[in-house]
């Protein structure tokens, strides 16, 4: 018997020819296993208190710290592009040990949230980063104890207050990125108690202590000295990522996140295979900066690299992707 794919009696060549389905652009499009849609993209945005004009971020070409005025146009552009949502980060003028600006109704993030919600209407899901690192003078994601370590449970109390403040500002999805144990349960309880039971939570469940956050530190003018390895995940650990995702789901997360994306596609694939809630991924600042730098030097095809990088994240199982190319990529998809 001739094995499948082997040459027949007349030496007619291989029977199985997978290339048949790659022959033309139309055929490749028809049989594509993974498809991208603008609605699956979320744009992270930075808003700087006191800025009179947008401030370019040198390590992230094309990305700026918005003023409250330029934010409005950027939100309108995002809505017109048809993307799914925006994720807001605040850059305050003043910081202190407990991140007071994070819970101030007139703090930059809460002000920006109200403006974005008013501008977006029903066209976008306006999301907010729930973490203290932009607001603390030490740059950590929580408050510190007497020995200078991050106090998990004291930080949860600040997260509870921050969650209520963001919900009252109109945030439609809270992104819990601080990596404190029990953060999802704490914020869920605070929201429910305060009458915000319908505000969903995005748990940054598997957030790793990554070198690829470097440009983000410039974007939010981080005051951090040292690192966050005592609370963000060890890059060596795949099973720990799965455990954190399970914990966030059990605590009531409506969506879970893997961050960064590029170096953690195995963790993302694991989560996508097992999670009962949507799984998102964050294509972080370092991933953006590398492609932009290589493209600027003529070393890679910029558009193809962007498209392939996000497609790879979606192929690994992400239901949505946070990416700084969201609006540009949405235009290409259309």
Per residue in 233-261, pLDDT (tens digit) is 999 999 999 999 999 999 999 999 999 99
Q: Which residue's entry shows tokens 């979320």?
A: 42
pLDDT grade for 4, boundaries at 50, 70 and 90: low
* Ranges assigned E (strand) in the chain: 41-48, 55-56, 64-66, 85-91, 125-130, 173-176, 201-207, 255-259, 279-282, 320-322
- pLDDT surpasses 60 at 7: no
The CATH number given to 35-333 is 3.20.20.70
From the candidates 72, 73, 95, 259, which is the catalytic residue?
259
For residues 303-311, give the mean pLDDT. 98
| Annotated domain spans of the chain | 35-333
Q: State the pLDDT at residue 10.
A: 60
Q: If you count DSSP H runs as helices and E runs as strands, how many of each does the chain have, helices first?
A: 11, 10
- Report which of 142, 140, 111, 143 is spatially closest to residue 128, judged by C-alpha positions: 111
Mean confidence (pLDDT) of the chain: 94
Q: What is the reported pLDDT for 215?
A: 86
The answer on pLDDT for 6 being more than 60 is no
CB 181 within 8 A of CB 154: no
- What band does 283 get if pLDDT is binned at 50, 70 and 90? very high
Does 207 qualify as catalytic in the annotation? Answer: yes
* 3-class SS of residue 279: strand
Give the model's pLDDT for residue 131. 95
Average pLDDT score over residue span 272-299: 97
Residue carrying the six token digits 């009179």: 52
Whether the Cβ atoms of residue 193 and residue 163 lie closer than 8 Å to each other: no
Catalytic option among 72, 73, 95, 207: 207
Specify whether the CB–CB gap between 47 and 91 falls below 8 A.
Answer: yes
Residue 114 pLDDT class (50, 70, 90 cuts): very high
Quick one: pLDDT band at residue 14, thresholds 50, 70, 90?
confident
pLDDT value, residue 221? 77
Binning the chain into helix, strand and coil, the percentages to the nearest 5 are 45, 15, 40
Distance CA(99)–CA(225), nearest Å, equals: 16
pLDDT in tens, 49-93: 999 999 999 999 999 999 999 999 999 999 999 999 999 999 999
Say what the pLDDT of residue 3 is. 56
Q: What is the pLDDT averaged over residues 203-215? A: 93
Question: Considering only CA atoms, which of 239, 232, 286 is closest in space to residue 267?
Answer: 239
Model confidence at 326, pLDDT cuts 50, 70, 90, reads very high
Q: How high is the pLDDT of residue 167?
A: 98
| 73 is a catalytic site residue | no
pTM summary value: 0.94
Where residue 112 falls among pLDDT bands split at 50, 70, 90? very high
Distance of alpha carbon 261 from alpha carbon 106, whole angstroms: 33
How many angstroms separate the CA atoms of 149 and 237, rounded? 23
């Amino acid at each position: 018997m001739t094995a499948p794919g082997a040459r027949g009696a007349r030496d007619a060549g291989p029977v199985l020819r997978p290339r048949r389905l790659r022959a033309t652009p139309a055929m490749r499009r028809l049989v594509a296993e993974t498809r991208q849609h603008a609605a699956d993209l979320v744009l992270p945005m930075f808003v700087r208190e006191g800025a009179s004009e947008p401030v370019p971020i040198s390590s992230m070409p094309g990305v700026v710290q918005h003023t409250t005025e330029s934010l409005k146009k950027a939100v309108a552009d995002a809505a017109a592009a048809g993307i799914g949502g925006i994720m807001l980060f605040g850059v305050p003028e003043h910081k202190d040990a407990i991140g007071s600006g994070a819970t101030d109704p007139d703090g930059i993030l809460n002000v920006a949230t109200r403006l974005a919600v008013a501008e977006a209407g029903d066209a976008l899901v306006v999301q907010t980063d729930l973490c203290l690192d932009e607001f603390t003078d030490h740059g950590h994601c929580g408050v510190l104890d007497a020995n200078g370590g991050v106090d998990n449970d004291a930080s949860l109390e600040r997260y509870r207050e921050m969650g209520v403040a963001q919900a009252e500002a109109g945030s439609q999805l809270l992104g819990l990125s601080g990596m404190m144990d029990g953060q999802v349960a704490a914020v869920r309880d605070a929201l429910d108690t305060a009458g915000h039971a319908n505000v969903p939570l995005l748990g940054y469940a598997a957030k790793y202590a990554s070198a690829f956050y470097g440009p983000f530190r410039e974007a939010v003018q981080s005051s951090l000295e040292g690192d966050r390895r005592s609370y963000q995940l060890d890059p060596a650990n795949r099973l720990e990522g799965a455990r954190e995702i399970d914990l966030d789901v059990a605590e009531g997360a409506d969506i879970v996140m893997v961050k960064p994306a590029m170096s953690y596609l195995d963790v993302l694939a694991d989560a996508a295979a097992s999670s009962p809630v949507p799984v998102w991924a964050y294509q972080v600042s370092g991933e953006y900066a590398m492609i932009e730098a290589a493209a600027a030097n003529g070393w890679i095809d910029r558009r193809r690299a962007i498209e392939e990088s996000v497609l790879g994240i979606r192929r690994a199982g992400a239901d949505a992707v946070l990416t700084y190319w969201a609006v540009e990529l949405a235009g290409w998809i259309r």
